[in-house]
A and B are shown apart, each in its own frame.
Chain A
């Protein structure tokens, strides 16, 4: 199928999607009410020079598609169940692999104490658990300093349990908490596995755990939410490693990964202002068994930090404008001005809501720097064989539906 035919087919599918997908509906079974909801999005990205997020953006890429469908039911006043399937294709990531996004039972004893168990989206920062749902955000691409699409699997969900609740402080607002523990899902098609291939590392799968919590205060100051999150997510993986001049050999990676986020959000009427800061300490040990009696050890212990400031304003029922600036430093020490030492991104966005269930976003990214390739943040060596240029300008157009 040539390029023109492919584009025509995709456009036709996009136009038909709202009809096919009109899948928000309720039904009853055995006296229980069930709800079905769905969402999907399609994007196009075009950049100068550098290819970004494993897409061939320098030639223009439509490889930015995702969607999901969920089913849920409020079984009793306090108990609900549900599950959501999700599928994404961003460049070479996802590859249309349908995954179980979440599946849980949720028992709310009191407003200040509830329990969730199953596969649960992880609460971390303002938008970790909602980052996949395009319609919930002004942006076509969320600030990558806080929500890297390629490293989504490291924070997105856990198989385990949460306790959660909100303490109502009346005129002082409310304090909400979440604490969780579980295993983290593997993503063989994610940026971590893909990025390490450029260094001769081929992995057989990642296992690990997630433990952490979130505490936020809503409406101590009217319309303001502020809080902090913490996550400890150690991981282990194995595979083959071929790092010149060593021969291809079996090896393992163990990494301790501790992250903290501080955030503040103001949402009132048509105005929305967000700010978030993230610090991630990584203690990674790679062991390569070059010979049965010889193991080479390589350490990678960066302190990565990033932050963003964002503002959006809804001009009318159908039109919203926004801008954010995002900063990411793969390591805080040393020369931070070199392109390898930072990625900054100035973004401007216009969002048009064509209907309650259908939106289109036009977004410009003006990036400076490409970061350390080892930090696996958007710019991959194998996607840029001629080398990375210091600046990347990119246009993103993305449309989404939700029912």
Chain B
């Protein structure tokens, strides 16, 4: 029973941390985007520049943060990549002519401001970030 307890407690902590991570990130979008939810697969494909339109035909423009804990958590949760691997991936597309570099912004306030004014923009911020002028998307 003691061994079970020893295994049970770390497992709960890991699950709790994962749930907290998901709750810590908010996906935001410009109000021009008609949908209110997207799938995790869609999020991944949009930020890997594989998908440039939603199912309703709306063009999307992903906005990436320069760094920080929210950025790292987003990459880990949705893209399964480190920041270094993501930058390498983007550069491989840019230097072979397959895509343009996504907009990269330094702070959450800048991300929110850009998403609010740019048609089709989608970004991510911490759950506690002030998100006036943008809509929040649910991730299924």
Contacts and interface: CB of A to CB of B under 8 A. Distances in A.
Contact of A111 (B50, B84, B95, B99): B50
Interface residues of B, number: 25
A121 B87 contact: no
Given A104-B97, A111-B51, A133 B85 contact: no
Interface in A256-304: 267-270
B95 A269 contact: no
Given A77-B52, A166-B50, A269 B97 contact: no
A37 B101 contact: yes
A68 interface: yes
A50 B82 CA distance: 40
A314 B100 contact: no
Contacts of A130: 92, 95-96
B88 A136 contact: yes
Nearest to B60: A77
A222 B41 CA distance: 13
A35 B91 contact: no
Chain A contact-residue range equals: 35 or more
A39 interface: yes
A72 B91 contact: no
Interface in B12-35: none
A35 B100 CA distance: 7
Nearest to A114: B98
A136 B92 contact: yes
A74 interface: yes
B94 A37 contact: yes
B117 interface: no
A129 interface: yes
6 contacts: A35-B100, A37-B94, A72-B97, A84-B97, A120-B97, A133-B92
The 6 closest A-B pairs by CB, nearest first: A77-B59, A133-B95, A121-B96, A129-B96, A82-B97, A102-B97
